[in-house]
Structure 1
Amino acid sequence: MIDQNTLKTYVQVAETLNFSVAAARRNTVQSAVSAQIAKLETELQRKLIERGRGKKMRLTSEGEAFLVYARRILALSEEAVEAVQAAHSQRIVRLGTTVTLAMSVVSDVLSAFAELVPDVQIHIQCDRSDALLGRLEADEIDIAFMIDQGKHAGQRFVHSQPLVWVSGPEFEPRFSTPVPLAFQTDGRDLRRYAFEALDASGQAGQIAHLSPHPIGVRAFVLAGLALTVMPKAAVTPPLQIVAQHLDLPPLSSIALSAYVTPGEKRDEISDLINLLQSSVR
């Protein structure tokens, strides 16, 4: 294994083509530089530098190639140190939320938070609502923002949010009955709200498409193949709330909540929670 001290010496020799100058830059003696280069060539089993009495020092083709890698290794090493030092000195908030909320409410909140607390970095992890509390309790996240999961010692707010029918921008109903719907495979709650509303109004619906991921549901809706149901605050262009002329029944509301570890008092966490709460009021 070649150590960084040897790589730094090699780079200086390659750039100056002078052992004495390289030694001065490395704050050592010429004999030490010569020994490092000789050892390096032995380890690599390749001649890196042509040198000798009466000859002008120059890099061999192998020496030129090795110089590129030596510079890259040293640059990556410096970058790694800087990244670790920056991460240690920078405050971080780990936010857990759903994909749907990350692409809507959270996205809108991020710019406001960056202006309010510019020296805090946010890390976002996405998961199902019913899994986020577990991540919070396992100390994988600092905030869980999702569909309400009931009373909890760390609950910071709960806010009722109307559910709405959602379509793509070019959606044209080609149905009288049943209404084509798209949902997540495990999105039982939203499916239940949709079918309860349709049943109460005497309309029929069918699950036309299922996807294990919200992005899949979004793709079906944007393609104009189906409608879906979302919290109103989560609807962002190009998705749109279904026009009233489609005569779909009103939906009930759903609660959105934010949770933290009980006793958490960091200002940056309170600031982010306040912004999230304002965005869903």
Structure 2
Amino acid sequence: MQNLDIDLLRTFVAIAQRETFASAAEQVGRTQSAITQQMQRLEQEVGCVLFEKRGRQKTMTTDGSRLLAYAQRILALNDQAVQLARSRGAGEKVRIGSPHDVADSILPNMLRRLSKLSTELQMEINVGRSPFLMDALREGELDLVISTRYDEAFPGVKLRTSPMVWICAEDFTFNPGEPVPLVMADELSLFRKLSIAQLDAHGISWRTSFISPTLTGIKAAISAGLGVTARTTELLDANMRVLTEGDGLPRLPDVAFYLYVQPTCTSNILRELFESTERIATRFGPAFV
């Protein structure tokens, strides 16, 4: 089956719109003789006469009128396809979730990469706690999630492994002989579970000093000198310091951050981001993502 030349069809439609070869030549930026040669080639492709002379003018034949309707539809579909390909997700809305811990580090990098894939992408950002973000992903309320939770139910890739450390205020006085005053989140917190497990495993007593459901509250309590928290190094700022084994506290395990995509996600942009992230992590390791 022979394919029709899009350029020839575009000139053909221009002639129909402008009614003369000379006027159509101006529209498509060609000479009149070039227009005539194009129509001769189109007639050879379709195997019929498209124009006939009536006096000094050329008018469209019945076959030409029949082809015109198809030519207009072909051009419309072609132009729509080109526009869609160039837009790369223009107007598309994607919902992204990230924990507070990496909202200033991993998340901006992800958003930057997304913006390069599509400058017109609409991004809705949900910064919250990992267990709630995973619930939202499971319910289809988010399309892409960064999380500390490992979950085989979703396609995922490890983004980074961060050291978890004991953090307190710069001027906080830590007394190894007393129960460790813990600043924590509630029972859903991975950091709470890991820190208590390590203290219990080493026979170190502890007490609850402050509980907050948000990282903002935990950071405020630490800055106020209310106690010690176990968190990744992303929490540290100039007014805080790290307590180590030399202070009598046990070493804490590293925490991994994962990128998950909704299995039913239809966004080609998000799929491209996820797959490129997976390729980089597989080839070079999470530290290069």
Normalising by the smaller structure, the TM-score range is: 0.5 to 0.7
The residue aligned with 1:209 is 210
Write the deviation string for residues 221-261 of structure 1: whole angstroms up to 9, x where unpaired.
111211111134x3342465514342321012333222112
The residue aligned with 1:176 is 177
Measured after TM superposition, the shift of residue 262 of structure 1 is 1.8
RMSD in angstroms over aligned alpha carbons? 3.6
The residue aligned with 2:242 is 242
Measured after TM superposition, the shift of residue 146 of structure 1 is 1.0
TM-score (norm 2): 0.54
Partners of 1:104 and 1:274 lie apart in 2 by 16
Stretch deviating more after TM superposition (252-261 or 97-106): 97-106
SS at structure 2 position matched to 1:97: strand
Partners of 1:226 and 1:106 lie apart in 2 by 28
The residue aligned with 1:101 is 102
Match of 1:271 among 264, 270, 273: 273
Measured after TM superposition, the shift of residue 180 of structure 1 is 1.1
Q: 1:174 to 1:271 in 2, by over 3 A?
A: same
Partners of 2:252 and 2:90 lie apart in 1 by 47
The residue aligned with 1:199 is 200
Q: Does 1:124 align with 2:125?
A: yes
Q: Which runs of 5+ in 1 are unaligned?
A: 1-87
Q: 1:151 to 1:115 in 2, by over 3 A?
A: closer
Q: 1:279 to 1:215 in 2, by over 3 A?
A: farther
Q: Does 1:113 align with 2:113?
A: yes
Stretch deviating more after TM superposition (208-217 or 161-170): 161-170
Measured after TM superposition, the shift of residue 125 of structure 1 is 0.8
Measured after TM superposition, the shift of residue 91 of structure 1 is 4.2
Q: Percent identity?
A: 22
Query: What are the equivalent positions in structure 2 for 1:1-281 lying under 5 Å apart?
Result: 89-107=90-108, 109=109, 112-113=112-113, 116-117=116-117, 119=119, 120-157=121-158, 160-174=161-175, 176-232=177-233, 234-238=234-238, 240=240, 242-244=242-244, 245-262=246-263, 264=265, 266-268=268-270, 270-271=272-273, 274=277, 278=286
Q: Counterpart of 1:218 in structure 2: which amino acid?
A: K
Partners of 1:226 and 1:191 lie apart in 2 by 14
Partners of 1:263 and 1:240 lie apart in 2 by 42
Partners of 1:186 and 1:199 lie apart in 2 by 16
Write the deviation string for residues 155-209 of structure 1: whole angstroms up to 9, x where unpaired.
2347654322122343332563111111112345322321222233332221111
Partners of 2:111 and 2:236 lie apart in 1 by 16
Partners of 1:111 and 1:137 lie apart in 2 by 22
Question: Is 1:96–1:132's contact at 8 Å kept on the other side of the alignment?
Answer: yes
Q: 1:201 to 1:239 in 2, by over 3 A?
A: farther
Partners of 1:240 and 1:89 lie apart in 2 by 43
TM-score (norm 1): 0.55
SS at structure 1 position matched to 2:163: strand
Q: Counterpart of 1:237 in structure 2: which amino acid?
A: D
Question: Is 2:167–2:229's contact at 8 Å kept on the other side of the alignment?
Answer: yes
Q: Counterpart of 1:230 in structure 2: which amino acid?
A: R
Partners of 1:226 and 1:280 lie apart in 2 by 35
Measured after TM superposition, the shift of residue 218 of structure 1 is 1.2
Q: 1:140 to 1:263 in 2, by over 3 A?
A: closer
SS at structure 2 position matched to 1:182: strand
SS at structure 1 position matched to 2:204: coil
Question: Is 1:104–1:236's contact at 8 Å kept on the other side of the alignment?
Answer: no
The residue aligned with 2:11 is none
Measured after TM superposition, the shift of residue 149 of structure 1 is 3.9
Question: Is 2:186–2:192's contact at 8 Å kept on the other side of the alignment?
Answer: no
